[in-house]
Amino acid sequence: MLHQLRIRHFALIDALDIDIASGLTVLTGETGAGKSIVISALNLVLGERGQALLIRDGQEKASVEALFRVPSDHPLVSKLAELDLGSDSAGELLVRRVIARNEKSQTYVNDRRVTLTTLRQLTESLVDISSQHEHLSLRDRASHLSRLDAFGGAELLVEDYREHFETWRAHRDELAELQQRNLERLAQLEFLRFQHQELDAANLREGEEEELDRERKKLRNLSQMREASQRVVAELYSAQGAALERLDKALKSLEFLVRIDPALKEDLSTLNDARYFVEDLALRLRDGYDEIEDAESALDEIESRLAQLSGLKRRFGPTVESMIERRDTIAAELELLDNLDARIEQLTALEERSKRALITAGEQLSERRRAVARRFEHEIQLHLESLGMERARFVIAFEPIEPTPEGIDGVEFLLSANPGEKPQPLQRIASGGELSRFMLAIKQVLSQTDPVLLYVFDEVDTGIGGTTAEAVGRSIRQTAEAHQVLCITHLHQIARYADHHLVVEKGERAGRTISSVRALSHDERAEELARMLGGPTVSAETRQFARTLLETAH
């Protein structure tokens, strides 16, 4: 149940703490007092997007906090555990929303930051809000099947059917694609074979382009290398007065000195080594001329190969690697196209088999839904009678349709509000009051099985009055026997059945308009009912009648 709602700086509310007890709590007040603000605040903690215009003038932030008490066997408990969002206080769920003018909104569950999507997933099974216009959604027949399934408890059959549907749809779509490709196969085969032959003949290799580019940069310097080598050979070896010739002369002079001074023998050996080193270097550089000439030929080959790769890249991809991938993809496509007939035959058999399995699952689901529909019709009929529609007739119509993710049945709710009239689709029912009561009947029936802790009825009494309003009040009270209910109403016929009565009032404080909520005592409840009965001027007779309404309500 919702234990407390704390609202700060939200619209006309400055600071407000609302304690909500079990049973039926009604919220009343003058038009414009701020009842809708309370519902807006509740919607915010249930995951509705926050807007800066909701922040009270003069404030930078607004916050709404809701404390729920959750039974240990409620599905939400396991969800919280899975998401590591459990509370230190067992059975508590604390939701807080903060919206700011110049910052992103913040969402917390048990003091941990979460996304709005996570919040919605957590709270969808906690609170059900019925607005004054929700009954209009009943005119959309697309919503009827989900409501029937919510009552029927056919989750396993629905899940099994959807698995079969997804399998069949995958086979169907792939088969359709292959059949279309088969029509284009001849032209496609010729084009793909041409592409594959060209790419395959290129003998592409990963990393080849980078290697060739490095080698090209090296070989482009060969002419400069050759000229420099020739100059070195000339200076060391071949030119007149070259270093080798001068070293030979120096050796002869040093040999003469050694004969005079043997201590210079080691120096002679060093100079002789230097002479042979210079000669060896010169000969190696000279012999390298032929290698350079060969390298110039290799450069031409590299330039030609790079030009070939560049041309292929313009047509098949930005890199050699992507062209290799394209070549392999084409090869796979060619293999598929070459074997297309066999694959189509195989998929046709798979599609037919999965379609038969789908129809079988669909028929089982349809049979279950039709059985559930009879019970649902009966339950709705009983509640319509309790809501003052004793002569109404409710029927669920089935019609076979092509398989969809939801089944093989089209389902539509039909209603006849008056005897002698054939049940009609709901969009043909003009009375909003009849649709409102029909929606309330559905809520009551579904409340028997769903895990919702709090039902909120936001002015669902629009368009009704008199004995019909009395019936609606009793019906809402009946719902409150098993669920916590918060009802915003303008009708004394509904408010009289409350276990707890809150009133919304608008006033001024320090020159500012504020909305506040307070719980009413028994005497104050009688006064509020009298106001709802008689308007701004309340007579003694009206007050007495209001007290009688309260005394006879329970």
Same domain, 549 and 500: no
How many domains does the chain contain in total? 3
Distance of CA 13 to the CA centre of its chain: 33
Length in residues, the chain? 554
Residue 352 lies in a domain: no
d(CA 519, CA 515): 14
CATH number of the domain to which 478 belongs? 3.40.50.300
- The listed range with the strongest mean pLDDT (79-88, 370-379, 381-390) is 370-379
Evaluate if residue 430 carries a pLDDT over 60.
no
Among candidate residues 338, 372, 387, the one where a domain is terminated: 338
Same domain, 479 and 554: no
**Confidence at residue 401, expressed as pLDDT on a 0 to 100 scale:** 95
pTM as predicted: 0.67
Residue 439 lies in a domain: no
How big is the CA angle at 63 (ends 60 and 66), to the nearest 5 degrees?
180
Residue 137 lies in a domain: no
Same domain, 334 and 205: yes
Evaluate if residue 161 carries a pLDDT over 90.
yes
Structure tokens at 14: 């400055």
Instruction: Note the pLDDT tens digit of each residue in 186-222.
Output: 667 777 777 878 888 788 788 888 888 887 877 777 7
Across the chain, mean pLDDT equals: 87
Same domain, 101 and 22: yes
Residue 436 lies in a domain: no
Rounded to the nearest 5°, which phi and psi values hold at 97? -120, 135
Measured between alpha carbons, how far is residue 74 from residues 45, 84, 209, 444, 480 in Å? 19, 16, 64, 19, 18
Residue 293 lies in a domain: yes
490-503 burial by CB neighbour count: b if 16+ within 10 A, else e? Answer: bbbbbbbbbbbbbb
Instruction: Note the pLDDT tens digit of each residue in 286-325.
Output: 877 666 666 667 777 888 888 888 888 888 878 888 888 8
Listed in sequence order, the DSSP H helices in 387-521 are 432-446, 466-480, 492-495
Structure tokens at 46: 């249930």
Rg (CA), the chain: 45
Q: What is the mean pLDDT of residues 354-379?
A: 95
Range of the domain at 531: 520-554
327, 317 Cβ separation under 8 angstroms: no
How many other C-beta atoms are found inside a 10 Å radius of the C-beta of residue 546? 24
503, 520 Cβ separation under 8 angstroms: yes
**Confidence at residue 290, expressed as pLDDT on a 0 to 100 scale:** 61
**Confidence at residue 296, expressed as pLDDT on a 0 to 100 scale:** 66
Same domain, 191 and 68: no
Burial class of 537 by CB neighbour count within 10 A (0 to 12, 13 to 18, 19+) = exposed
Same domain, 205 and 308: yes
Same domain, 19 and 120: yes
Only one residue has tokens 């913040």, namely 106
Only one residue has tokens 């010739």, namely 245
Same domain, 26 and 56: yes
What's the N-to-C CA distance of the chain in angstroms?
22
Residue 415 lies in a domain: no
**Which amino acid is it at 115?**
T
Same domain, 64 and 199: no
Instruction: Read off the DSSP letter of residue 34.
Output: S
Residues 6+ apart with CB under 8 A from 480: 23, 24, 499
d(CA 261, CA 273): 20
105, HSE (Cβ side, Cα atoms, 13 Å): 22
Evaluate if residue 184 carries a pLDDT over 70.
yes
d(CA 26, CA 495): 6
User: Which of 454, 450, 440 lies closest to 21 in space, CA to CA?
Assistant: 454
Burial class of 388 by CB neighbour count within 10 A (0 to 12, 13 to 18, 19+) = buried
Same domain, 190 and 81: no
Measured between alpha carbons, how far is residue 507 from residues 20, 265, 517 in Å? 23, 121, 11
Q: What percent of the chain has pLDDT over 70?
A: 96
376 compared with 418, residue with greater pLDDT = 376
Evaluate if residue 36 carries a pLDDT over 70.
yes
**Confidence at residue 289, expressed as pLDDT on a 0 to 100 scale:** 62
Same domain, 211 and 329: yes
Residue 166 lies in a domain: no
Residue 168 lies in a domain: no
287 compared with 124, residue with greater pLDDT = 124
Same domain, 3 and 75: yes
Among candidate residues 290, 308, 338, the one where a domain is terminated: 338
Among candidate residues 284, 313, 338, the one where a domain is terminated: 338
How many other C-beta atoms are found inside a 10 Å radius of the C-beta of residue 57? 9
